[in-house]
A and B are shown apart, each in its own frame.
Chain A
Amino acid sequence: MILEVRELVVRYGQATALDGVSLEVGEGEMVALVGPNGAGKTTLLNTISGLIRPASGSIRTAGRVVQVPEGRQLFGDMTVEDNLRLGAWRVRDRNLSHIYELFPPLSEMRRRRAYTLSGGEQQMVAVGRALMGGPQLLAVDELSLGLAPLVVQNLAEHVVRLNRESGMAVLLVEQNARLALDICARAYVLEAGRLAMAGQSAELRRSPAVQAAYLGGAVGEGEAVRAPATSPRTAGGGEGGGTAP
């Protein structure tokens, strides 16, 4: 296991955001975490990233976990290159060439300030910045948030390829359950701070409850990626990420 979360409880003051959540990600595995807005998905990732201290429970990691945060959270007034380089703060290697190979458009934008990029380009920077941290587990929070379907598809393909080619494990948090279940073998469903369901994506996709709540009724054949049903949240930086002057 690269990540083992046991009976995690997280509170914001009096409010309980996570109530006994257990979850695992194996080496090289792609796991989805789906659930409605406010379920506690971001809280879980931030606790795994060490930004929030849990009230109880345990988190064990066997390797570096790096997060692609919700809303991208770029250093908006800094250049693309600076954003990527800062991703390597924990590690020694600041060579960016593999990121530019993965996302060729970024190499032409390296001198541009991050807030001037389109949403999809910003998400590439956010993923690239996380990759610079040399993750064994990439935790992506709302990859599809506010992006056009084609852009989401392209980004999702990149993440899948990274997983296949370098064996990097992925924990994909998504409100777009269809996308998440399509590209991840296993999934957890989080509702109001508790795990409602867990299992193989194929099984979950057949479950009437999941279909009703997250897939909008019947599963559309061949429709791999769908725009998120909810409008993008702007909390904590929103589109621009960071503080644009």
Chain B
Amino acid sequence: MIQAKGIHKQFGALHVLKGVDLDVAERELVFIIGPSGSGKSTMLRCLNRLEVPTAGSVVVDGIDLLDPRTDLNHARQRIGMVFQSFNLYPHMTALGNVTLALRKVAGKSRAEADEIGHAALARVGLAERADHRPGQLSGGQQQRVAIARAIALEPRVMLFDEPTSALDPELVGSVLGVMRSLRESGMTMVVVSHEMGFARAAADRVLFMDDGLIVEQGPPAQIFEAPVHARTRGFISQIQRH
């Protein structure tokens, strides 16, 4: 589903990604962990071209994202993204957030878009909150609206960048619950997160990134219990202490 090869990313003199290869199969859930500044977000953002890699290739669902002839806006509808800070549109209702792209990009009528939007909100357990503004919702509810906004477009892949790290601990569970049900529906997912419990339960593969490279990868049990590299061991023991 995703084939990223030899990804390099430089911000001026700062070399953030130093040749990352990432293949994700259909229906696979790949988890990315690593210390702050290791390039996890940058890598994820290369997968929908919010960042343009300095070198390398990115193909998602057969679409070459770095080909200048690619219709990027069309491609991005197949790649849902969920951000740490939700990034909901504060001037619109939950339903308005979910239906904007349906109406403006997917070309649906308002009635069609509203129907799809209500269904998407129901999937994340927020059918009753369709008319609420983001400011009237809890963090967990906002993040679930953000997930609904992405899945309403029927993406082939979902990218999550630390979806629960801005949430109060008691709200994390509701968001992870939605992610788990997405997983069960067969969605291909790439998740940057340090929710180890979720990774153990749901991930097919865990990647450990450090300093712009994938240091080690494998099934969750192997990465968490028997990491090969010293840097992975150090990082795992560090986050397990929290």
Chain A partners chain B: no
Residues of A at the B interface (CB closer than 8 Å) are: none
Residues of B at the A interface (CB closer than 8 Å) are: none
